[in-house]
Amino acid sequence: MKQVKQLIAEQLQEKLGTDVETKDIEVPEPEHGDFAYPAMKAASQLEKNPRKLAEKTAEKLQEDELIQEVEVAGPGYLNFYLNKKEYGKIVSEGLETDKMSVEQREGEVLLEFSSPNIAKPMHIGHVRNNCLGDSLQRIMRFSGYNVTSENYLGDWGAQFGKSIFAFKKYGSEEKLDENPMEHIYNLYVKFHNEAENDPQIVEKAAEWSKRIEEGDEEAERLWKKLRKITIEYDMKDYERMDIEFDRITGESKVVEEGEEIVERGLEKGIFKEDDDGSVYIDFEDENMPNTIVKKSDGTTLYLTRDIANIEKRAKEGFEKNLYVVASEQDLHFKQLFKIAEEFGIDDIDNEHISYGMLNLGEGGMSSREGNIITLSDLLDKATEKAEEKIQDRENIENAEKIGLGAVKYANLKVSRRKDIEFNWEDVLNFEGDSGPYLQYSNTRAKSILKKTDTKGEFVGEFNETEYQLLRKLGEFPEKVSSAAENRDPVKVANYLSTLCEEFNTFYHDCPVIDAEEDERKRRVKLVKLFIDVSDKGLELLGIEPLEEM
Ligand code: ARG
């Protein structure tokens, strides 16, 4: 099903004789028509005067069933006025298809997100990642990509020797069975406190790190246990957030491949060996700091395993390799992708989907003594706050869905590269630009339909308010595409917010149930389309649409 913008772009392309893409078509303020095309770019390509080109093109464009009038304005704009009925038909038929007119793309995509380290609970730093990654997997799938989502655990490295040592020294199997994650994490904190006075224990812990590396039986058993405990614990957070992964992997799965990469890199002259036996890559020509891929003790690094993993993913047949990771690691990924290039791994496109900080601000939450703010603390708090806000006590069981929806929306409504100043007032403001506001608008529409069995149909003429709602609804497909292409759910989040505003204007100005027949049919149809679009939009953000609120 073609979108209206596409139909206009095609007409223009034919008449202009130069490329016109859907994204070149703008949605102007209502007084300048339904769509607009600035001919300036095409004019400079064709070396013509933009105003004259626009005039010539307007003459050639025949008015058809859809395009009612074309007007030339300003330095070279073409403003399109559409036949509203025809437009309504195209929008509604498009939205009623399976993929709601969202342009379908192809490609095998590996989307990595979350990727927490083991032996500690997920914390506040994972909130934005989880929200972004999950929404992206939903958006990219809906856009036709074949997405495999992967949680690549940080499950290899010297720090786990510390956890094991701490467990052996201070822990108990009993407590481990009772409250595994808490026990492990407390021991780790204790270890760090003790180490300040007793540097010897650091050395002892290092022995355990070595034993893990060497595959010592006891070390491996305990490391496996740490990994298992973490996965079981994290799974509860994911379930609560309604996040699913197609696979869970981890650094430990590419340790040998990492060692092999070092050898190959040396042979190829990509890496250099230092006097102490460590291996590094010289990035002087790239204006980046040099970086080590193998330590003098023979062990590999986080970066080394990432190199090996790119090769592995390419061999698996993935065409795109996407990482949702905070901007703190921008340099890491720049170095990583450069190394992959030097290895000649060019059949996979690597992308770092970088994002800014989530700042809880003052009074946002205080961390428990010696502890981090865990992800589940934040989710608890969100639920609690939502409970306080819900007026209709009958719907109190929705609190978690509202609280979590609020947190997710707050994380998605800001462009991913920007930092977020999180404050509970705004996040849970039922009237503002918030998750609950979206959920509320959606349930409001559903409650209208519960009161009528009129079948929706576009009959008669749209009034201005109805028409503006229709126009907004028609923008849904392109917003999803742009979110997918920019790897940023913000496009869908902001769109939904303005759509809900438009709907609420309609709700106040256009009675549905009490309208005369044609009007009622038309408005029921609009309400129905709004429900479809907002249900799907919320789903794409990972926010659960509700029946009542
Ligand atoms: N485990 C890492 C951390 O917690 C993030 C991993 C990101 N993914 C990657 N392939 N490097 O910082």
CA distance 246 to 151: 8
97 found inside a domain = no
CA distance 73 to 56: 13
Ligand 1 test: best mutation among 155, 156, 307, 329, most atoms within 8 Å of CB? 329
Q: What is the pLDDT of residues 386-436, one digit of tens each?
A: 999 887 777 888 999 999 999 999 999 999 999 999 999 899 998 889 999
Structural domain ending residue among the three candidates 64, 82, 100? 82
Ligand 1 test: best mutation among 115, 128, 372, most atoms within 8 Å of CB? 115
Q: Using a 6 Å cutoff on CB, does residue 325 contact ligand 1?
A: yes
Q: How far is the CA of 497 from the centre of ligand 1 (A)?
A: 32
Q: Using a 6 Å cutoff on CB, does residue 113 contact ligand 1?
A: no
Q: What is the pLDDT of residues 57-97, one digit of tens each?
A: 999 987 788 999 999 999 999 999 999 999 999 999 999 99
Whether residue 448 sits in one domain with residue 309: no
Q: What is the pLDDT of residues 34-50, one digit of tens each?
A: 999 999 999 999 999 99
Q: Which atom of ligand 1 is nearest to the CA of 154?
A: 1
CA-closest residue to ligand 1 atom 1: 154
pLDDT at 362 > cutoff 70: no
- Whichever domain contains 416, its CATH number is 1.10.730.10
Q: Does the CA dihedral 100-103-104-110 come out positive or negative?
A: negative
Q: What is the DSSP letter of 438?
A: H
Q: Domain residues for 45? A: 2-82
Q: Which atom of ligand 1 is nearest to the CA of 153?
A: 1
Tokens representing residue 390 in the block: 């819900």
Q: Using a 6 Å cutoff on CB, does residue 306 contact ligand 1?
A: yes
Whether residue 405 sits in one domain with residue 515: yes
How high is the pLDDT of residue 365? 67
Q: How far is the CA of 116 from the centre of ligand 1 (A)?
A: 7
- Least confident segment among 26-35, 133-142, 241-250, 412-421: 26-35
Whether residue 196 sits in one domain with residue 310: yes
- Least confident segment among 29-33, 327-331, 529-533: 29-33
- Least confident segment among 60-74, 172-186, 352-366: 352-366
**Mean pLDDT over each residue of the chain, to the nearest integer:** 94
pLDDT at 116 > cutoff 90: yes
pLDDT at 165 > cutoff 60: yes
pLDDT at 370 > cutoff 60: no
How high is the pLDDT of residue 366? 62
What mean pLDDT comes out for the span 164-173?
93
Q: What is the pLDDT of residues 246-278, one digit of tens each?
A: 999 999 999 999 999 999 999 999 999 999 999
Q: What is the pLDDT of residues 275-289, one digit of tens each?
A: 999 999 999 999 999
Q: How far is the CA of 176 from the centre of ligand 1 (A)?
A: 26
Confidence tier at 372 by pLDDT (50, 70, 90)? confident
Q: How far is the CA of 112 from the centre of ligand 1 (A)?
A: 9
Number of domains present in the structure of the chain: 3
What mean pLDDT comes out for the span 504-512?
98
Q: Is 210 helix (H, G, I), strand (E, B) or coil?
A: helix
CA distance 450 to 385: 29
pLDDT at 364 > cutoff 70: no
How high is the pLDDT of residue 61? 87
Q: How far is the CA of 303 from the centre of ligand 1 (A)?
A: 10
How high is the pLDDT of residue 360? 86
173 found inside a domain = yes
| 275-284 own/partner pairs: CB under 8 Å, 24+ apart | 281/335, 281/339, 283/335, 283/338
CA-closest residue to ligand 1 atom 6: 115
Confidence tier at 363 by pLDDT (50, 70, 90)? low
Q: How far is the CA of 221 from the centre of ligand 1 (A)?
A: 24
How high is the pLDDT of residue 1? 61
Q: Using a 6 Å cutoff on CB, does residue 154 contact ligand 1?
A: yes
State the pairing for strand pair 108-112/291-294. Answer: unpaired
391 found inside a domain = no
Instruction: Compute CA 540 distance to the chain's CA centroid, rounded to the nearest angstrom.
Output: 9
Whether residue 17 sits in one domain with residue 78: yes
247 found inside a domain = yes
107 found inside a domain = no
Q: How far is the CA of 242 from the centre of ligand 1 (A)?
A: 21
Whether residue 411 sits in one domain with residue 278: no
Comparing CA positions, the residue from 252, 193, 209 lying closest to residue 228 is 252
What mean pLDDT comes out for the span 365-388?
83
CA distance 186 to 197: 18
Q: How far is the CA of 289 from the centre of ligand 1 (A)?
A: 20
Q: Using a 6 Å cutoff on CB, does residue 124 contact ligand 1?
A: no
pLDDT at 55 > cutoff 80: yes
Whether residue 321 sits in one domain with residue 421: no
229 found inside a domain = yes
Whether residue 192 sits in one domain with residue 232: yes
Whether residue 228 sits in one domain with residue 123: yes
Say how many C-beta atoms besides its own lie within 10 A of residue 253's C-beta: 17
State the pairing for strand pair 146-153/247-250. Answer: parallel
Are 227 and 155 contacting, i.e. CB atoms less than 8 angstroms apart?
yes
| Highest-pLDDT range among 192-196, 363-367, 422-426, 444-448 | 444-448
